[in-house]
Amino acid sequence: MKFNKTYIFAAVTALVVLGVYVFDYKAEQSKIKSETAIILNQDMNQISYMQIVKPDVKIGLQKTEKGWSLLEPIQDVADNNNIEELIKTLSTEKQISIVKQSETPLTEIELREFGLDKPAIIFNLKDNLGHTKKVSVGSVKNFEGNSYVRVDVDNKIIIASPVWIARAENQLIYYREKKLYRSSLANINKMKIKSVRDEFSLKKVGDKWTDTLHGYELDQNKVRDILKKISETNISEYTFEGEPSAKLVKEKGLDKPQVSIRLQSEDSDWEAALNLHSDDKAVYALTERPTFLVKVDTEAWLSFGNLFLDDLRDRSTPLAFNLAEVKKIYFKENDKELKLIYSGGNWKPEGNTPASTVLNDASITKALNNAHGLKISEFIDDSAKQEKFEGQNMLILKSDTEKLVLQLNWGPSFKEKKSGSEKEYYYARTHLSNKIFALEKSLVDSLNLVDSPAAQEEPAKEKIEGASVE
């Protein structure tokens, strides 16, 4: 009898232990499954329609071959990057856990507990095959700030990351295109700019931009930078939809705008007027095709408000040369002159140049680098001023085959006020052009190769490591 009782007790104990193990295993597997389950099990690349329903607005988005379009509450181009990022986020989010699950439909009271009777936001999605998903996000959060989510009409409520309810805070502009200029810049061949400081027109001939009035040589990178900034100017707020009234345009100071931009191609013509409002300090813009009255980023004002044609002129090309080619130097200033040749890894006096007047290799290299970095300080377009150029001082750079690499002539000096302060300049010219320009005196002084204390700092015969212009 005792034997039977012992076996019965052992069997019961084994069953209990086995039951506990199975229960714990299933619970653990259920937990693992819930933690790895994707909430929205749908291929993001196949989603072609999305409707976002909030208590105060309904936003409809449709994907086409050209990208996403906004269908409601207004029709417009959508912000493709934001929409794709949103779909990617939603389609990869995993549930944290299941907070409630029932075999029967959830009641209104149960839904109200999690804010799902009146959701903060509902995502209705449809893919290319017509399959739909509805994701409701509760208007309340749990104590950790996480979201309560319900997929379709499941009898299950999921705890998910705060990102779901955070999406309810996105305003309409998040889904809407924010570029002020929405077309391609590739075919633009004319632009007209009116800034606070200047007014000018540019045209593109072949692949080169020039100004239409003077024919100045322009820095092509700077012109392209203007176009890039136009394309990157963002709308921060849509102030008015459609054609605004004359009263509203005047109120925003756009009847007489301080800044205007016009871009033209063979088949398009786009214009925007910009104004910094004196009251709220916001930058307003009125655009054409499509017509929008908007606020734009203040960076736009900094970029376009102070544009000056002179700032776009090419200051580098007239002074450009290949530094590696320089093997011979001739320098003359007033009654001082010298000739140098690069030989055996050192700069050496050539001809009758006394060694005592020559700088050391490091200083010569520094002077050459200064010459290589020269840019025109000011343009001289006045022919009367140009006639004052004498150019008796010079720097001539040649290759080892006597090829002329650069010839810079300068003189005399003159003084002029710029931005409230007086600066001293030299009239100057290079062998590349007959046009006279101005170089600041300090820049020319940095080219001096004679009668400097640096010439005595180190014997010319001693080799300086790394002093070669190569």
Alpha-carbon distance of 444 to 367, in angstroms, equals 10
251 contacts: CB under 8 Å, gap ≥ 6: none
Which residues lie across from 410 on neighbouring strands? Answer: 393, 428
- CA triple 448-449-452, angle to 5 deg: 85
- CA triple 269-275-278, angle to 5 deg: 170
- The DSSP line for 180-222 is SS-S-STT--EEEEE-SS-EEEEEEETTEEEETTT--BB-HHH
Q: What is the pLDDT of residue 11?
A: 54
Q: Return the SS3 of 237.
A: strand
The two tokens of residue 26 are: 């299933």
Q: Return the SS3 of 308.
A: coil
* Other Cβ atoms within 10 Å of 191 Cβ, number: 20
> Which residues of the chain register pLDDT less than 50?
1-3, 16-17, 20-35, 452-470
Q: Return the SS3 of 321.
A: coil
**Is the alpha carbon torsion for 279, 283, 286, 291 positive or negative?**
negative
Q: Measured over all CA atoms, what is the biggest interatomic distance in the chain, rounded to whole angstroms?
A: 132
The two tokens of residue 18 are: 């086995």
- Residue 92 is inside which H or E element, if any? helix 80-92
pTM, two decimal places: 0.76
The two tokens of residue 95 are: 């549930």
What is the per-residue pLDDT across 374-406, written as a single tens digit (0 to 9) for each?
Answer: 999 999 998 899 999 999 999 999 999 999 999
The two tokens of residue 68 are: 């996403």
